[in-house]
Amino acid sequence: MRAPALPAAFLALLTVAVSAATPPGLSAQDAWIRATPGVDVAAAYLTLHNAAAQAVVVSGVRSPAAAAAMIHESTLVDGKSTMRPREPLRIAAGETVRFAPGGLHIMLHGLKRPLAVGDEVPVTLLIEGGGSVTALARVRPLSDG
């Protein structure tokens, strides 16, 4: 008895859809957000590693916890801290990029509710050409960093 061809074709399409959703080799670890009581913005930090043989370009970011999200970079210029958008973000093959206070970070604007210590907030990085990587960022106390 032969198995129907339709389920096999469906499984093949499903496998393609799953592999297209996550770029091979790009991973996100150690995602966290510093709690900022009383404001509707927050900064998220994480570490990205590209184990693929080719560069990956992060073209945007989103989170269901915020009205808008964007990759920013803080720098010190003439003794003053400045912040500017940093999209797209190219991650070379084999490169690890650390988002940390005072450098790269994800700004979450228009938080839909206050974030409490211990909450987990999904943050999705959008990849140029399709696909995405989602990390759960745990909210830490303001004093942590």
Instruction: For residues 79-108, give the mean pLDDT.
Output: 93
- Residue 64 preceded by cis peptide, ω within 30: no
pLDDT exceeds 50 at position 40: yes
Q: Convert the pLDDT of each residue in 52-91 to its tens digit.
A: 999 999 999 999 999 999 999 988 888 888 888 888 999 9
pLDDT at position 142 is 85
pLDDT at position 57 is 95
pLDDT at position 21 is 52
The mean of the pLDDT values for the chain is 85
Instruction: For residues 43-48, give the mean pLDDT.
Output: 97
Residue in the block written with tokens 């797209």: 88
Which pLDDT band, with edges at 50, 70 and 90, does 140 fall under?
A: very high
Identify the DSSP state of 129: T
The full set of domains in the chain, from first to last, is 23-140 (2.60.40.1890)
At 18 the three-state DSSP class reads helix
